[in-house]
Chain A
Amino acid sequence: MYRDNNQNPQQGNTQAVSYIDQNQELGYYPPQGMELARAYVPIQRLGKVYPPAKALETGTLFPELYRPYHY
């Protein structure tokens, strides 16, 4: 929902990751559908899940939410 479609760079619409373009003097411009002055968090989509033992061990059922910390 918040993902930008591929835009023609010459039209000036930038993707979230494209910083090097002729709009650089205008500063970063939000991709289509997104506003300034607010935060966005992508919505999770259900994919695979861990088996129960592994889920308890990692601290989540969802591999895509696992952020290992092996300090």
Chain B
Amino acid sequence: MDSHNQAHLLRKIQELSFVAVDLNLYLDTHPGDRRALEMYNNVHRDFLQAVRKYEKMYGPLVNFGYSPAMQDYWTWVESPWPWEIKY
């Protein structure tokens, strides 16, 4: 298993996701801030791109209909789960 590359790609996703989350909280109390909205949409694009790249190699990051099953078995249940990954 290519654990080093997985942790590296995951890190990129964690960074982009985190920017989205902190912007999201800011927008919750500043819903009219256009500059923040623009920033959010930019991060959203980059984030989804990184997620799709990761999912192609390592399986879905979200389930319940949000991500496609890309193998002929249900990879959602595969190891490693987040608390098992060696960073």
The reply, when asked whether chain A contacts chain B directly with Cβ atoms under 8 A, is: yes
A residues with a Cβ closer than 8 A to B are 43-44, 46, 49, 52-53, 55-56, 60-62
Number of B residues with CB within 8 Å of any CB on chain A: 15
Q: Provided the pairs A44-B26, A46-B26, A61-B23 are in contact, do residues A52 and B33 lie with their beta carbons within 8 angstroms?
A: no
A-B contact pairs, 14 of them (CB 8 A): A43-B29, A44-B26, A46-B26, A46-B35, A46-B36, A49-B19, A52-B15, A52-B19, A55-B15, A56-B15, A60-B22, A61-B19, A61-B23, A61-B26
Render B1-35 as a binary contact track against A, CB cut-off 8 A, 1 for contact.
00000000000001110110011001001100101
- Min Cβ gap A27→B in Å is 33
Output the residue of A43, A46, A53, A60 with the most chain B CB within 10 A.
A46
